[in-house]
Structures are given as C-alpha cells and as structure tokens.
Chains A and B, each alone.
Chain A
C-alpha cells in the first residue's frame, strides 16, 4: 500500500534555511504536495509538484523531487518565526481521488 514518511521535528534559527524531507512508496504517484498546518487550524496547501518535474520554485519555497529514490524535499529560504507550523507531505493516488499524508514535520523557528 501507499506510505509516506517524514521526520517528526526540525528546529532552526530565524534567517536560516529549513529543509523538510519526505519519502513515498507509490511510484505511480502523479502529484506530490506540501501542506502547512498552523496551531488550531486546518491544512493549507503550500505548493505541489507534478511527477514529471524535478524542481519547482515559488518565492521562498523550493521543492525537489527525486523520482528514482521516491524522495521529496521542501526548502524554505530565510525562515521566519511565522513559518513555525506542522508541514505535511502528501501524494495523490493514480485514480486522482484521494491523498495519502505523512505524519507531519513540526518546524520550530527560534529568534
């Protein structure tokens, strides 16, 4: 079955870059996503990448996809305290109907 793995916790200082990693098992995944969850709130889509791409940049966010190793990463440049949140990696199934989420990585940014 599908499985998405993430490290559980990352701590960085304000102004540093953060890199959150994710591995997935479904080689036929079509889209891969990064969602952000702030305390007490629902999930918000940050960015996504189509499986035929290997990189996508969106302002401070860079997504890298290594399809051979089934590895996805999210880099946040110039991390701010407002970036402190839980970040979820997710893959879409080939039927385009459901997402499988990782357990989430808690990012803590200290001043």
Chain B
C-alpha cells in the first residue's frame, strides 16, 4: 500500500515548455486534489476531482489543466510554463472518517522550477 505517489519528484523547465505531473493513489478514494505551496502562502487548491469523471476549479486554476484518468490517477498539466508556476505541487486524495468528516492524504510533492 503506497498511499499517494507523485512523479517526478523534481523538474526544471524553461519558460514556455509543457509538462504533466502525475499522481496516483491505491486507497480506492473517490476524491483527489492538486495544491501548490509557495513560501508564506500555505497551500492553495488548483483543481479537484470529487469523483471519477468530474473535475472542478479551485482557488488558483489559471495556467493549469487536469485529467482524472480513472479512479486511481489524477494528472496536472502545465501547457506553457511560466516562472510564476515555480512551486511545490502536492497531490492528495481523501476518505471519509467513521465519524463523518474527511481526511486528506498527501503525496510527497513535486518541486518544479521554471526558468
């Protein structure tokens, strides 16, 4: 049981290049999320997927696209990278507590630098 896995761990891109960040979870969770973390800004939600086949915008969706490929996988694509997208990207998935709330499980993160 690997939990939430992300690839790659590190990436350097030039401005204008494109790339896809991959995320997979093996916990049979319905909901998955992409966040970015910047110094002093906490975590900000980019996109989420409440279930297979659905995606919704979060707080900072501009410049990104997502695909919920199947229940396990949720990818984040940067079509034309910009220096402002230099950040640490976290994927998460969520399950329901017995008491009724939700816990989000986080991957280890992808550190992306755009030059």
Footprint of B on A, CB under 8 Å? 4, 8, 30-31, 41-45, 48, 50, 88, 92, 96-104
Footprint of A on B, CB under 8 Å? 4, 31, 33, 40-45, 48, 50, 56, 58, 90, 92, 97, 99-109
Q: Considering only CB atoms, which chain A residue lies closest to B104 in the complex?
A: A99
Judge whether A45 and B103 touch: CB under 8 Å. yes
Closest chain-A Cβ to B82's Cβ sits at a distance in Å of 23
Judge whether B103 and A48 touch: CB under 8 Å. yes
Q: Which of B31, B42, B103 has the most CB of A within 10 A?
A: B42
Q: Which residues of A contact B108 (CB under 8 A)?
A: 41-42
Judge whether A44 and B101 touch: CB under 8 Å. no
- CB-contact partner of A97 in B31, B40, B42, B97, under 8 A: B31
Judge whether A48 and B109 touch: CB under 8 Å. no
Q: Which residues of B contact A31 (CB under 8 A)?
A: 101-102
Query: Can you list 18 pairs linking A and B with CB atoms under 8 Å apart?
Result: A31-B102, A41-B108, A43-B43, A45-B103, A45-B104, A50-B100, A88-B43, A92-B101, A97-B31, A97-B50, A98-B45, A98-B48, A98-B58, A99-B104, A101-B44, A103-B40, A103-B41, A104-B42
Q: How far is the CA of A29 from the CA of B1 in the complex (A)?
A: 32
Judge whether A42 and B101 touch: CB under 8 Å. no
Closest chain-A Cβ to B19's Cβ sits at a distance in Å of 20
Q: Considering only CB atoms, which chain B residue lies closest to A95 in the complex?
A: B50
Q: Considering only CB atoms, which chain A residue lies closest to B103 in the complex?
A: A45
Q: Considering only CB atoms, which chain A residue lies closest to B58 in the complex?
A: A98
Q: How far is the CA of A101 from the CA of B56 in the complex (A)?
A: 18
